């Protein structure tokens, strides 16, 4: 029903709304530039094909074949040991290479249906595969707010000591 693929100029970025203006603006104005420059890789969830898009449209969703249902972005990054949960940080040097989950968002009318979980699982899978070739201790995220932080904790991310919006999922 849903396909996950790398963002291209063919996707309808302007039609996306997750309810967070900054995340919408990043997708609409920055994501493709960063994709083309290798700064961040953005992956989007889209209807698997035209038939699926039509089926959604018949159920009342404003969806077309090029609609973005959700997205996330990954980049290479360094974080400081203090940005990790103290228990994990003990094992690492002062600066630690990680994979940063920069953004994750689902369009408002499709939130709460398991899409966020699907995209997060895909991000973990890609980060783990990439870490086999280029060292990365784990997936790191700066959550936008405590609600988003709870979502990541639900899936095993651990908050940094004293910094509950910085979360880490070891990949090792």
Ligand X SMILES: CC(C)(COP(=O)(O)OP(=O)(O)OC[C@H]1O[C@@H](n2cnc3c(N)ncnc32)[C@H](O)[C@@H]1OP(=O)(O)O)[C@@H](O)C(=O)NCCC(=O)NCCS
Q: Which residues bind ligand X (CB under 6 A)?
A: 18-20, 23, 104-106, 111-117, 143-144, 147-148, 150-151, 154
Q: Which of 5, 29, 7, 12 is nearest to 107 (CA)?
A: 12
Which of helix, strand or coil describes residue 98? strand
- Would you say 16 or 35 has its CB closer to ligand X? 16
Least separation in angstroms between residue 76's CB and ligand X is 18
For residue 65, give Cα distances in angstroms to 37, 55, 133, 137.
Answer: 26, 11, 34, 37
Q: Which of 1, 6, 24, 27 is nearest to 113 (CA)?
A: 1
Least separation in angstroms between residue 93's CB and ligand X is 27
- Would you say 84 or 143 has its CB closer to ligand X? 143
- Would you say 57 or 115 has its CB closer to ligand X? 115
Least separation in angstroms between residue 35's CB and ligand X is 19
Residue nearest ligand X, CB atom distance: 116
Which of helix, strand or coil describes residue 57? helix
Whether 72 is catalytic: no
Active site residues: 152
């Amino acid at each position: 029903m849903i396909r996950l693929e790398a963002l291209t100029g063919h996707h309808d970025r302007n039609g996306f709304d997750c309810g967070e203006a900054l995340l919408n603006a990043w997708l609409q104005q920055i994501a493709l530039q960063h994709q083309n420059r290798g700064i961040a890789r953005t992956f989007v969830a889209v209807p698997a094909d035209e038939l699926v898009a039509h089926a959604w449209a018949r159920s009342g969703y404003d969806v077309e074949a090029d609609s973005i249902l959700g997205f996330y972005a990954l980049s290479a990054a360094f974080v400081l040991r203090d940005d990790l949960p103290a228990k994990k940080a003990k094992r690492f040097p002062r600066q630690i290479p990680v994979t940063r989950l920069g953004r994750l968002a689902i369009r408002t009318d499709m939130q709460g249906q398991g899409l966020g979980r699907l995209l997060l699982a895909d991000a973990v899978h890609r980060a783990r595969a990439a870490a086999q070739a280029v060292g990365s201790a784990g997936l790191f995220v700066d959550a936008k707010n405590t609600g988003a932080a709870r979502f990541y904790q639900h899936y095993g991310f651990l908050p940094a000591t004293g910094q509950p919006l910085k979360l880490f999922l070891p990949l090792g």
